[in-house]
Structure 1
Amino acid sequence: MAKNNRPALILTLFVVLGLFSLAGAVVWLGLRMQSNNPTASVAPVSSASGGSAEILQQSGETAQELNQVPLESDRGVDYRKLRDNLLQKNWRAADRETYERLLEAAGPKARSVGMIPKEEMELLPCKDLQTVDRLWSSASNGLFGFTAQQGVLRALGDYRKMYDEVGWQNRSGEWAIEWTYNPQIKRMDYKPGKEPNFTKPPAGHFPTVERGYNFDASLDAALKRCKF
């Protein structure tokens, strides 16, 4: 009996070896296909890394848009430092640089005393205001700049409501942002505790320069004249 079963046993061994060989070939083929597919070996991207990639893409687009803004001025003002501050999202430095450069654009009296007098405000070049506006708007995806601020004003139809909306003043008339004058350096600065919100600014918050005192002599009048 054992002698008669030997061919069957040998045949069974050949079948088993063949099945193992077939399985090995299938596994090998699967590994080859996986290695040829670059996405198969990449781990799934988490939502956090996806958000970072989106931020990086937006930052790159913002930088490109900012660098394409023509730095035009009718008074020869250099706006490169303002652009650089905005590229870094340094709202504090950009706000201060806006103040200094608009003094320069306004005229000699403004540069001398640190405030724009009415006669120079009336001649403040629209081209310079447009350059400042485009830089702020490009750096913030349209959230900041004179165009954004005037859009809030048109939507609400009232300066007090607009000042409340952009975070400069509340409806009761109390100022959230206040300037004080330093006669030693002949410059305006923010009162302690009355500074802009540099960390989480609402839409339209920047720039804050020359806003909110005498409307006839303030930047509001110049923006109206320049049709913002």
Structure 2
Amino acid sequence: MLRNIEDLDCNCKELLNLLSSYDVSMRYEAIDLVNKIYHSNHELHLQLLVILLDRYDNHQIAMNIVDGIMFELLLKSENSNIYPEIVKYLPTGIIKLKSDCGIDYLPLQKLLLAKKFQDADALTHVLLCKLSQKLGNHSRQWLYFTDVVRLPCIDLHTIDQLWQVHSEGLFGLSAQKRIWLSTNSDWEKFWAKIGWKVNNVSCRYPQEFTWDTNAPAGHLPLFNQLRGVQVLAALFDHPAF
């Protein structure tokens, strides 16, 4: 397999340069270029994989939504050389599944990759409770806001990155926090903006929530606002975000 960045074609080099100086304002330009390369020639799929692996191997780089789109497209590639290389070099995906507490995040990665957002939402809460149980020596199946401060940054980053990268940046706690701040921390405006309340009425779980990327930004993962805002406020105040 080609692994030399210098051998990339001109469009792939342009993509690599875009990603090297990436910020959110470049998102759509980079995504358009990924799609242009992917749909132009099956042989170029290997070059997209070279870019992805080069970025994955660089520990200074945080994988972003463009990397996520590349990865998900390559998994569908009709180029027979691609899938074996992904299995070999990216067996657990493009997000390094780090945990300070020995939590296995691969099941969450698989659900998000498959766009099974309702199942991923339920598992996210199970994983947060597992973290809290390990650190707080309890067996509760729910979070108190006082549990949140003990949750490790590394684990929260892993969970958030998985949600972000596999939803094209639509979902995740960091997305929710940005929206909350954009409302001047007004919870009622926040609920409406992320689609947890409609006409000032809380949505009923699960049928009135949207379990795909047609949802408003920040719609997932869910937290029970009927119990108050303390858990979510504590998460937004966590140093991980």
Pairwise TM-score range, normalised by the shorter structure: 0.5 to 0.7
1:175 counterpart letter in structure 2 = S
Deviations 1:56-107 (A, max 9, x none): 9887614379822111112111100000011111111111111111111112
Stretches of structure 1 lacking an aligned partner (at least 5 in a row): 1-49, 178-189
- The aligned counterpart of 2:227 is 213
1:53 is displaced (CA, Å) by: 4.5
1:211 is displaced (CA, Å) by: 5.1
Stretches of structure 2 lacking an aligned partner (at least 5 in a row): 1-35, 46-65, 75-89
Alignment of 1:101-120 (within 5 A): 101-108=127-134, 112-120=139-147
How many corresponding residue pairs?
A: 161
Q: How far apart are the structure 1 equivalents of 2:220 and 2:96?
A: 20
Paired residues of 1:95 and 1:209 also in contact (CA < 8 A): no
Structure 2 residue 70 is matched with structure 1 residue 61 = yes
Note closer, same or farther for the CA distance 1:166–1:115 as it changes in structure 2 (3 Å cut): same
Structure 2 residue 123 is matched with structure 1 residue 87 = no
Paired residues of 1:168 and 1:205 also in contact (CA < 8 A): yes
1:80 counterpart letter in structure 2 = L
Note closer, same or farther for the CA distance 1:127–1:155 as it changes in structure 2 (3 Å cut): same
Structure 2 residue 184 is matched with structure 1 residue 175 = no
Paired residues of 2:148 and 2:238 also in contact (CA < 8 A): no
Paired residues of 1:71 and 1:131 also in contact (CA < 8 A): yes
Paired residues of 2:163 and 2:172 also in contact (CA < 8 A): yes
- The aligned counterpart of 2:3 is none
1:141 is displaced (CA, Å) by: 1.3
Note closer, same or farther for the CA distance 1:93–1:154 as it changes in structure 2 (3 Å cut): same
TM-score normalised by the chain length of structure 2: 0.57
- Identity rate, percent: 28
> What is the root-mean-square deviation in Å for CA atoms of aligned residues?
3.1
- Structure 1 runs (4+) deviating above 3 angstroms are 56-60, 62-66, 108-111, 209-212
Note closer, same or farther for the CA distance 1:111–1:96 as it changes in structure 2 (3 Å cut): farther
- Secondary structure of the residue aligned to 1:112 is coil
Q: How far apart are the structure 2 equivalents of 1:227 and 1:95?
A: 19
Q: How far apart are the structure 2 equivalents of 1:62 and 1:156?
A: 33
Note closer, same or farther for the CA distance 1:62–1:154 as it changes in structure 2 (3 Å cut): farther
